[in-house]
Structure 1
């Protein structure tokens, strides 16, 4: 048998070292990249019976893969609380965060990269339920007074920039109620790495097709709410800011009608639901802003108007929705007044479905091009 000796020339040893470094970097990055449910993100792995007192979870590490604190319950779908039936959106189980309760998990990430957390939540019995989502040193408080879906569950996205190679994700209920069990249900926690988009080709808009965004659960049909930038320092929708008091909804082709590609944005709260982006322009130059508006094929019917702004210029685009899909294209010609031009879109009216859930027009395929002279 021949014995292989690691000797050889300096160049061969250098090449071997280079290969090892590349492989180490590759596997380190691979272990940090996460796109989908976090470990036991759907809470289907249950605590041991010895770690339960009724529905209350006892023990800091009783829920597999999670660390808990405060009044945490393990809820089975269909469980009753008084006259209320607790429903779980995916699978059979979820957790409920009572007074000052939290769930926590540490995940490998890549330092400096941006990530978006997506989770589903539902109100139960507290009057002003809200959730504090954090990855130290960043945090955001997401109010849950407005429910956007008809079944009581909404999915939320929240973004952060990794400050180290480990992110400690915490979802915390800061409320204190007379009934310590009162608090939101949590299910299906996922994470996705975000890649800051750049203008493509001659289009000055970044992520104008909305293809880059938070994780959308494949088995849910209500999209993902992207909170206002006052509640999130980093947008889960790269390139865009939610400059409003209410969230916008991120939707996908698998469950909705989308004008272009696989993703789009639904403006679900009238003038309180706006998206904006600042683009680099040349003062005195003429540009054309083009975009598509339509309906998401979610039975959102009625007269809609999308207002688009480019600096000082604006256009109102009407769309008559039958709630069964479809779209139209619109343009706004404008002359740049400075080196940066702010673009914004919002819906003029509030729109509701027959079940009283909020909905609105869809915006997609946004482009800003230099206007060619005739």
Structure 2
């Protein structure tokens, strides 16, 4: 009897632990792709009726359940993946509660498409942190983009809320949401082989399998915890994290595409020793996404700068560059941005730009 009691206790403990482990595992949230939908009795046309009608989610406001191929007048409502998605109308939101590891950094990834509102935006929050992501600029022509947003878990159980703060004459107008995922982020550290943290951009937000459009990483003004750990997006527009094999990546599995000219800059503050000589090296290329033309990446290290030209054929490839400088203080800010704006040659509605990768910073000895 005692053995049975102990076994039961172990099973209960295991079940609890397994639930927590499943909750924080990288990938889709529970019903994160909205393929499990409301019952017919919980629908009024396309509008969802009932706070808990969508399994695993709690909704409020005017929320619609959209099927792939569905139209609103002459407009086709785009579902990024699978057969179903949700649309957030006036002051509408979706919420899910899940377990995380307190003190850990996490990144939320979701896909969103614009519909009929004039100034669409989304308020993303994991209490007490929040950010507003504008949907005005679409970076791809397929009708949607994937976005990342990061947070630091201050509690072991958190609520993710995706909210449309807009109010339109048509209450149904608002962004369409699909594929909500999560990824735990382990903070990178400098090493004796590279002072730059996460120089290969391998530590970043969750990228959905079998998707070929990358993930937008928002600027600091919209997310104080960058999903691209170690880096700050110090610009007005996002940068795009791209991945092999869907894009040409100079080194490793991931790289960053500077998709919005000087409005798309990334930076990092690194530890240096004043008066010491350093070399900042990096790769510049194109993503093999028909982004053609004369590109220039400008790199900064403190007061020093270098312009690296790259003639892109839009078919992949890269070159390496280096900036030698003497540190002026114990903290040196390094930064990269694209001099020009670029559009894909096969799609004049899609922003693109040069790729940077394999960023390294090392001190060098100066011969007398």
TM class by shorter-chain length?
over 0.9
Matched, 1:243 2:234: yes
1:218 to partner: Cα distance: 1.3
Partner of 1:196: 187
- Report the Cα distance in structure 1 between the residues aligned to 2:341 and 2:235, rounded to whole angstroms: 14
Partner of 1:66: 57
Q: Deviations over 1:67-116 (max 9, x none)?
A: 00000000001101011011211101000000000000001101110000
Instruction: Check whether the contact 2:261–2:338 (CA below 8 A) recurs between aligned residues.
Output: yes
Q: Deviations over 1:8-32 (max 9, x none)?
A: xxxxxxxxxxx9xx98997686355
Larger Cα-atom Rg: 1
- Report the Cα distance in structure 2 between the residues aligned to 1:57 and 1:42, rounded to whole angstroms: 16
1:34 to partner: Cα distance: 2.0
Partner of 2:265: 274
Q: TM-score, normalised by structure 2?
A: 0.94
Q: 2:124 aligns with which of 133, 154, 162?
A: 133
Instruction: Check whether the contact 2:20–2:99 (CA below 8 A) recurs between aligned residues.
Output: no
Partner of 1:16: none
1:182 to partner: Cα distance: 0.3
Matched, 1:373 2:366: yes
- 1:1-374 matched pairs, under 5 angstroms: 30-354=21-345, 355-356=347-348, 357-374=350-367
Q: 1:29 to 1:184 in 2, by over 3 A?
A: closer
1:200 to partner: Cα distance: 2.5
**What is the Cα-based RMSD across aligned positions, in Å?**
2.1
Instruction: Check whether the contact 2:248–2:317 (CA below 8 A) recurs between aligned residues.
Output: yes
Q: 1:26 to 1:97 in 2, by over 3 A?
A: closer
Instruction: Check whether the contact 1:196–1:239 (CA below 8 A) recurs between aligned residues.
Output: yes
- Report the Cα distance in structure 2 between the residues aligned to 1:31 and 1:74, rounded to whole angstroms: 26
Q: Deviations over 1:169-200 (max 9, x none)?
A: 00000000000000000000000001110013
Give the secondary-structure state (helix, strand or coil) at the position aligned to 2:315.
coil
- Report the Cα distance in structure 2 between the residues aligned to 1:228 and 1:171, rounded to whole angstroms: 18
1:152 to partner: Cα distance: 1.3
Instruction: Check whether the contact 1:267–1:274 (CA below 8 A) recurs between aligned residues.
Output: yes
- Report the Cα distance in structure 1 between the residues aligned to 2:103 and 2:36, rounded to whole angstroms: 32
Is there any run of 5+ residues in structure 1 with no aligned partner, and where?
5-18
Give the secondary-structure state (helix, strand or coil) at the position aligned to 1:196.
coil
Give the secondary-structure state (helix, strand or coil) at the position aligned to 1:174.
coil
1:33 to partner: Cα distance: 2.8
Q: TM-score, normalised by structure 1?
A: 0.93
Give the secondary-structure state (helix, strand or coil) at the position aligned to 1:156.
strand
- Report the Cα distance in structure 1 between the residues aligned to 2:180 and 2:35, rounded to whole angstroms: 12
